[in-house]
Every structure is written in structure tokens, then in C-alpha cells.
Amino acid sequence: MTARPNQPERYYNYAYLDEQTKRMIRRSILKALAIPGYQVPFGSREMPVPYGWGTGGIQLTAAIIGPDDVYKCIDQGADDTTNAVSIRRFFAQVADVAVTEDTGKATIIQTRHRIPEQPLKAGQVLVFQVPQPEPLRGLEARETETRAMHAYEEYGLQYVSLYESVATYGRIASTVGYPTMVDERYLMSPSPIPKFDNPKMGDNEAILLFGAGREKRIYAVPPHTSVRSLDFEDYPFETQTWEEDCALCGAEESYLDEVVLDDAGTRMFVCSDSHFCADRRAAGHIGPMADHELAALETEPA
Amino acid sequence: MNAMPKAIAIAQAAPLLRVDKLTKSYGHVVGCRDVSFELRRGEVLGVVGESGSGKTTLLNCISGRLPPSSGAVEFDTSRFGLTDIYGLNEPDRRRMQREEWGFVHQNPRDGLRMRVSGGANVAEPLMNLGNRHYGKMRSATIEWLERVELDTRRIDDKPRNFSGGMQQRIQVARNLIHGPRLVFMDEPTGGLDVSVQARLLDLLRELVRDLGLAVIIVTHDMAVARLMADRLIVMKDGFVVETGLTDQVLDDPQHPYSQLLVSSVLQI
Amino acid sequence: MSNQPLIVVEGLAKTFILHNAEGATIPVFDGLGLEVSPGECVVLAGESGVGKSTLMRSIYGNYLPTHGAVRVLHDGAYVDITGAPPHQVLDVRRRTLGYVSQFLRVIPRISTLQLVMEPLLENGVDPIEAQERAEKLLGALRLPKAHWDLPPATFSGGEQQRVNIARSFIRNYPVLLLDEPTASLDAENRAIVVQLIKQALDEGAAMIGIFHDHDVRDAVATSLFNVSEFKVAA
């Protein structure tokens, strides 16, 4: 039917990108790791998916992946969404790697807009897909100016957006892409992860890599680096909380997605991290709607 | 905040700004040539002349936005004393511009962030100075909106929802809230109708007096020059053709061009 | 009180050159000298057009003399108004040299009271004290209280002039130049102004004035100075 990956008739170069490109990207990654939070420009390539579908993350993964890696890919926390499934199959094919949904077993986890609930360990790499790497872009359109602001650590402007938020909503209302300060030097967009995940970035054991394909930027947070979410003295940073627990696994501390169940407006809250939820259920944790049909769906293999 | 009364401020001997043989050419076209003057604390200098006379080029050079072809611009910075601003490295110069200067543009769109509220526009310089307490910045902003006679209930409206005169007030507040020592104004009342213009000028006069500000104001309007400036520089074709006390230049102009300029003002 | 003159005019000449009227020159006076000591009020004499106002304005630095010097005693030293740097001239005007013109240069929207307080505020006087002094002076000049909060733009000529006088007399300038300060005043108000002038002279002010009204002139003048003696024929 189809050629097995890594056989002589394999159609693409290993991990899709040619070796020179991977070298170029690796050099950019090293620079990004050396200057935590700094946006390193790189020669982003055309990928076989449209911009906005994870071209930055795919290129990062392609540059660092090897046959011994175990690859996991999630989209909004879920392993079984179309985008995650497609990218996972892509690397299974072009890089001949084992794939997994198990956060603990993966060596490379590519993610769109979430950080897994299970704490990461040394040796793991979390690859973020980034639509807009420049946190100041919404306030300052000129790239020359934002670069100068980063160079001279002029970050007052970022607080203007927080000020607006407090003025309008009485609190800092932004919930995703919440701006952070890396190693008390570079202002960094965490990609559109929920601010719930922001505290997980600080002092993480794993390497965090961020790739923006369309914007041609790579940046990184090396292990054990401080990542501080910006705030005001009188309006400190806080994460989202829910009154509900996960309807399926009963988790109290995880990031929940709201799922509308019918036209009457019935809804349930479930863990956004599908593997985390399934793991807990397998371990015997039971939520109030554990026997719902969605629970059955999620246990099916991708 | 620098609340030194104007008279006392001016009397202090040291210049705040020193411009020495400043020349800016664009290729073989002269923007301004061989301009020298000093400005003291609390002093208001008017730069007058017709369009194309080099006023704006001069202002841009002095305000650190356009490197001159030759000559020097020295400012008495709080961190380094009297220093050639183009000799400073870029971060130090930007910091000085941010902390010690203000710049009021003719068009509020050039001086305001149109996408964020009036209040945030006014508060931004405080954030740039490292202020991280929302409540304190909020009350400082309200205080300044009152000072520039804006309805504080509209603090969270976007600039586009304000009239031209109000936008200009927001710009004035934004450029004064951080207590600058020198403020540049480029035709600050240019796009406004007369009654609004008069109000804004009064406001500026009061603020300049109460804060002991040094101001360089570029205008082609002799009435604005008379009302605002202590002394004038008259420019033509990039040269300074006359300088002196405002009332002397306007009432007894010496240079043919100044005489023409003054006699061209329409009387009502 | 020392009798050192507060103002010394030496060899003063003024010629207007009208560049836009084919360089026409209008000589006014030449070689003019004048000294005024504390308590003196020198009244300029000479027919209309002889250059009294031009002399007055040249002394104030409003006109730029062609030659000569105008020395004003300021902080114990003479400052030549014709050659001093602008900031120094402004400082002299702010603290030493006052000028009452015939006309009030109206500033839009500013109330009469504010206008009168302004010279005090410029000199760092506390606003509350400044207001008290302004109210007292406006009261003495019998300007109706209802007018105090209004800008003087719509006032009558006499009212505007009294505002102007208040603005100049609120500071006790050591040297005062009076250019027809009583021109549009009625007899009663003229008497009040004469009173103010005399009081300032008693306190040691030096004044140079132009008065067409002979009663006022006789009341305040300590000497007459005939400008026409220095007239240059055109």
C-alpha cells in the first residue's frame, strides 16, 4: 500500500526537512536557548500544511527529532483532534518515530495552546506552535520599534494592555497569551496557552521551544528558568479557577473545557488534557458524569 | 513634580539646552543651517517662519529624532549633566527622551495610541518610568484629565471618540504627567478652530507657568507665538534671520522677512 | 534710600527701516540721554509724533534702539536692556521694570482676577496671597466686583485700563513706565490712579510717564523731559 518510512524508497529526507535547513534551525534553537525569551529570526520553510496549522512547531520538531524519540502531539490538550492526529502521523511517517499519548513517555511533545497537566521531566522537550511571537505587536505595529524595545528592555508599553484590561473589566481579564517576563530580561508571548498554564513554564525541568513559522521566529525557555507573568502591584496575576470538577474524572485542579451537550443548553466540564483525564479514569477516579457517552469516545485509540 | 516658579527657574544660570551651529541638509537641499541658541529652565522659545522655512527640521533635530549633518545639541540631562544628545548611546537617549522630555504633535494621531483609551494614553509614560501600581496611576491620570479640563468620566473612551481639541488635551496630559523638563510642541493648536485653540493656549500657558517648563514651540501663527513664547527665532530658507524677545520681534521686527511676516498677519 | 539713578538712558537713537517700503528710513531721535532717580517721575513732553511712545518702548526693550544704552538698576547692578540676553531682559521686566500701556492686551478666557494675579504668580507669590492682593487693588480701583471673574475682553475702555493699571501696580516695580495710563478714565478714577502713582513714588519708585492730561501731569511730574530736543529731521 504505502512505503514504510526509512526504507530505501522513502520519498522524503529524514524528518522531511533537508539537512542544511535542520542545521540552520538547530543553530537558531541554540541561540534561543542561550538568550532565554529572545526571538531568534530563522529561515522558515514552506511546509506541507498551511500557515496557522503549526508550521513553526513542525519545523522545530523536524530539526530536533531522531529515530529514538517518542513523539506526542496535542491540540488544546487533546491527542485526538484532527490537527494533532495529522501531525503525529506525519512524523511517524517521515521520522520513523514511536508515537504516544502518554505525557510521561514522550520525549518530544508538540503542542498547540496547552501545557500538559502532568509535570514534565528533564530530557523532555515541549514544542509550542506560535501564531504571533511578538507580545507588543498589538500595541506597536513597527518591528523596528519593538526590536528596540526588547533590546533596551523598554517594556512599559506591555503594561498599557493590562491597564486597559483593569480599566474595562476591573481585573486583568486576558486569559490566553498572557505576557510573561523570562529570566527577568525578555518579554515573551507564551503562545496562546491559557494563563492557567503560565506558572508551569517557570522553573520547568523540560526545554520549552517556541516556533512561529509565518513570522519566522524561534524562542526558548531553557530548563529551570524563571518565567514571571506580568501584573500590577495592586492587581496581582492569578490563574483561572472553576467551580466544577471534571465531569468525567473528578479532577479538581486541571484546566477544564466546557462542552455543550444539547440544544437545551446542558453542558459539562471536562479536562482539556485528554490523556490526563483518561489516565485518572483508568486509575479509578470517577466524576459526576463518568458514564456519559463522551467518556467512551475518548478512550478509543486515535 | 518640578513646580519651580517660572521666574526663579529662568534666573538660574545654566542652560538647559544648547544648540550649536546645527546644520541639517538633505543631499544638497538645506533643512536648516548654522542654528545656535540656548534655552533655560522655564523659558518658552517660539520658532516662527513660513512652511518650508526649516522649522520642523530644526525641531526634529533638537528633539533627538533626526541626527543633524553637523553641529551639536546639548541637553542638561539628569544622569549625565550637559551632554551632546547624539553622543549618547541609543538606550540612554531614548531613556532621556522618555523621562525628561515631552513632544506634542500637531496631529494627535501622531502623538497618541489611537487603539487604547485616553486614560491609558495618559498613564503610559508612568508605566514607562516603571510604575506598576494601577490604582496610583489611575488617580494620577484622573488628576491630569482634570488639569487639562477633560470630563474624567470619559477616561476609558478611545481617542477617536473625542473631538480634535479634546484629543489634543489628552496629548498634552500624556506629555506632562511624568514631569518633563523640556517639552517640544509642533503647531499644537494647528488643526483646531479658534475658540478651541484659545482654550488650549490658555491651558498650555498656565501649565508652563505652574510647572516651570521649558518649551520649544514651532508655529506659523504669530498670535500663538505672542501668547506663548518669551522669545522668538524667525526662520527663513533654513536660516535664523532674527531672534529676540517676542514682543520686540513682533512690534519692531528688524529683518525684511520678519517685517513681511508680521505685516502679513490679518487684523480683526 | 540711595539716590543712585534707577534708570540711565545714554546716547539713545532710534531709526525705523521699512524694508518692505523700499527701505524707507524713519529717524525718530538721536543722542538722547536721561536719568531717573528713586522718587522721581519724569514726564515726557513734546507734540504728538515726536517719539514719546517710541522712547518709552525702546526703554522697555519692546523696540530695538539703533544706538545707545538703557541701563536699569536690577539686583544692585545696571543691566543694559538694549544688549542684555533675552532671559535677563525678561527677568528685569518681571521684577524691576513695569510697563502700563494705553491698551490692555486681552488674553482670551482668562478672568480679570487671574490676569491681575499673574505678575505675582510669575514671581512665585502664594496664590492665596496673590488673590487677596489682587482683590484689594481691584477694589481700590473701584472695578465692580461682578466683573472680577469675567475676562476683560468685553469691558469698556476705562475698565480695561484699570485692569491694566492693577496688573502693573500689584507688583511694586522699582521702575515704572506709564504710557497714558489715565487716557480713558473719568475724573474720579484719574484721582485714584494719581494716588497710586504718588504712593509708589513715595515708596521710592522711579517713573517715566506720558500724560496728555495736564492735571494728572502736574500732580505727578517731578520734571519734564522734552523729547523734541532730540528729534532728528526726516
Interchain CB distance below 8 Å, B202 and C122:
no
Rg (CA), chain B: 18
Of the candidates A43, A62, A91, A93, the one whose C-alpha atom is nearest the C-alpha of residue A214 is A43
pLDDT in tens, B74-101: 999 999 999 999 999 999 999 999 999 9
Interchain CB distance below 8 Å, B132 and A166:
no
Helix (H) or strand (E) holding B82: strand B81-84
Give the alpha-carbon dihedral of A173, A178, A179, A181, to 10 degrees: 110
Residues 91-150 of B with CB under 8 A from A: 91, 94-95, 98, 113, 115-117, 119-120, 123-125, 127-130, 132-135, 137-138
pLDDT in tens, C56-112: 999 999 999 999 999 999 999 999 999 999 889 999 998 999 998 877 776 777 889
pLDDT in tens, A196-229: 999 999 999 999 999 999 999 999 999 999 999 9
In the structure, how many helices (H) and strands (E) does chain A have? 8, 12
Chain centroid to CA C151: 22
Interchain CB distance below 8 Å, C87 and B263:
no
Which parts of A46-155 fold into alpha helices (H)? 55-64, 82-94, 143-151
A9: exposed, middle or buried (C-beta count within 10 Å: 0-12, 13-18, 19+)? Answer: exposed
Interchain CB distance below 8 Å, A154 and B98:
yes
B205 pLDDT tier (thresholds 50, 70, 90): confident
Q: Which residue's C-alpha cell is 514552506?
A: A46
* pLDDT for residue C50 is more than 80: yes
pLDDT in tens, B50-68: 888 999 999 999 999 999 9
How many Å lie between the alpha carbon of B266 and the closest alpha carbon of chain C? 17
Active site residues of A: 37, 246, 249, 271, 277
Cell representation of residue A220: 526558548
Interchain CB distance below 8 Å, A160 and B155:
no
Q: Look at the alpha carbons of C196, C200, C202, C207 in this order and tell me if their dihedral is positive or negative.
A: negative
Give the residue on A whose Cα is nearest the Cα of B124.
Answer: A160
Give the residue on C whose Cα is nearest the Cα of B8.
Answer: C123
Helix (H) or strand (E) holding B29: strand B29-40
Question: What percent of chain C lies above the pLDDT cut of 70?
Answer: 97
> What is the Cα–Cα distance from B197 to B188, expressed in whole angstroms?
9
Q: Beta strand C7-18 with C24-36: parallel, antiparallel or unpaired? A: antiparallel
> What is the Cα–Cα distance from C49 to B242, expressed in whole angstroms?
28
pLDDT value of position A245: 93
Read off the pLDDT of each residue in C113-128 and give the average, rounded to a whole number. Answer: 89
Range from A50-59, B24-33, B240-249, C155-164 carrying the lowest mean pLDDT: C155-164
Q: Which residues, 6 or more positions from C220, have their beta carbon under 8 angstroms from its beta carbon? A: C41, C43, C194, C197, C198, C201, C207, C209, C211
Mutate which: C56, C64, C92, vs B, most B CBs within 10 A: C64
How many Å lie between the alpha carbon of C65 and the closest alpha carbon of chain B? 10
Q: Which of B201, B209, B230 is opposite residue C90, by nearest beta carbon?
A: B230
Please tell me whether residue A125 adopts helix, strand or coil conformation.
strand
C186 pLDDT tier (thresholds 50, 70, 90): confident
Report, in this order, helix, strand and coil percent for chain C, each rounded to 5. 40, 25, 35
List the C206-210 sheet strands across, edge first: C97-100, C175-179, C206-210, C41-45, C223-226
> What is the Cα–Cα distance from A94 to A17, expressed in whole angstroms?
9
C232 pLDDT tier (thresholds 50, 70, 90): confident
pTM, two decimal places: 0.88
Q: Which residues, 6 or more positions from A291, have their beta carbon under 8 angstroms from its beta carbon? A: none
B48: exposed, middle or buried (C-beta count within 10 Å: 0-12, 13-18, 19+)? Answer: buried
Cell representation of residue C34: 536721561
Which parts of C10-156 fold into alpha helices (H)? 52-60, 86-95, 112-122, 127-140
Q: Which residue's C-alpha cell is 539686583?
A: C75
Interchain CB distance below 8 Å, A139 and B113:
yes
Q: Are B100 and B64 in contact (CB under 8 A)?
A: no
Q: Which of C17, C63, C108 is opposite residue B198, by nearest beta carbon?
A: C108
How many Å lie between the alpha carbon of B60 and the closest alpha carbon of chain A? 18
> What is the Cα–Cα distance from A167 to A194, expressed in whole angstroms?
21
Chain centroid to CA A47: 19
> What is the Cα–Cα distance from A210 to C110, expressed in whole angstroms?
60
> What is the Cα–Cα distance from A52 to A48, expressed in whole angstroms?
12
Please provide the average confidence, as pLDDT, over all residues in chain C: 89
Neighbouring chains to B with at least 3 Cβ pairs closer than 8 Å: A, C
Residues 92-131 of B with CB under 8 A from C: none
Q: Which residues, 6 or more positions from A237, have their beta carbon under 8 angstroms from its beta carbon? A: A172, A178, A195, A198, A229, A230, A231
Question: Given CB atoms, is B205 within the 8 Å cutoff of chain A?
Answer: no
> What is the Cα–Cα distance from B149 to B200, expressed in whole angstroms?
10
Read off the pLDDT of each residue in B113-123 and give the average, rounded to a whole number. Answer: 95
Q: Look at the alpha carbons of B125, B126, B131, B136 in this order and tell me if their dihedral is positive or negative.
A: negative
- Backbone φ and ψ of A169, nearest 5°: -110, -5
Please provide the average confidence, as pLDDT, over all residues in chain B: 90
Neighbouring chains to A with at least 3 Cβ pairs closer than 8 Å: B
* pLDDT for residue B2 is more than 50: no
Q: Are A25 and A63 in contact (CB under 8 A)?
A: yes
Q: Hey, what amino acid is at A141?
A: A
Residues of chain A with confidence (pLDDT) below 70: 1-11, 296-302
Q: Which residues, 6 or more positions from A45, have their beta carbon under 8 angstroms from its beta carbon? A: A17, A21, A59
Which parts of chain B fold into alpha helices (H)? 6-11, 55-62, 90-100, 108-111, 118-128, 134-147, 164-176, 194-211, 222-228, 246-251, 256-263
Residue-range domains of chain A with CATH: 8-135+177-229 (3.40.50.11310), 241-302 (no CATH)
Question: Given CB atoms, is A161 within the 8 Å cutoff of chain B?
Answer: yes
Distances (CA, A) of B33 to A206, B25, B246: 60, 8, 22
Interchain CB distance below 8 Å, B134 and A168:
no
pLDDT value of position C234: 56
Q: Beta strand A180-182 with A186-188: parallel, antiparallel or unpaired? A: antiparallel
